[in-house]
Structure 1
Amino acid sequence: MNYVTVSSIKPVLKLLTEDVLKPSDEDTTLTSDIKRKMCSVLEEKYRPAALQATLAKSCLLDPRYLGNNFDEYAEEETKCAL
């Protein structure tokens, strides 16, 4: 059985919101609206600061990601918190 680890959440969310669910010119109005709504639901669900801090730390410490899913400020802030 496979389990999703907390360190995979941040990269998967980034992939979903910036690629898979990004509205394109070929999408119908309904499809674009659904994609925007799905992104807003995901962003709202994972918005709390404490949760973001946990996701950032776990992703930074996971050797699979090597801190590649951060902007420079978030990476420094997370390293300082460790």
Structure 2
Amino acid sequence: MIFFIALVRRLALATWIIRSMIDGIWLAAGLQTGGLDRNAALAHMDFQFDRLIPAAEAQQAEKTAARERIRSVYEIRSTAA
């Protein structure tokens, strides 16, 4: 039971962190003239994740690979539109 309570608290904290990061991006976008472009928003999210949830070296490599996949999907979608 104690494990479950600790898990719920950790999940609540993770949820709060992610929600705060998204709110920060929305705030930054609202303060920019012309808004915040996709790359700037992703860079902001990466910075916040790295600051709040430090990753191990292996996780950093996975994150870099995932970032490249996101860019390639975005480029395919942009050229198709």
What band does the TM-score fall into relative to the shorter chain? 0.3 to 0.5
Larger radius of gyration: 2
Taking structure 2 as the reference length, the TM-score comes to: 0.34
Q: Which structure features the higher share of helix residues?
A: 2
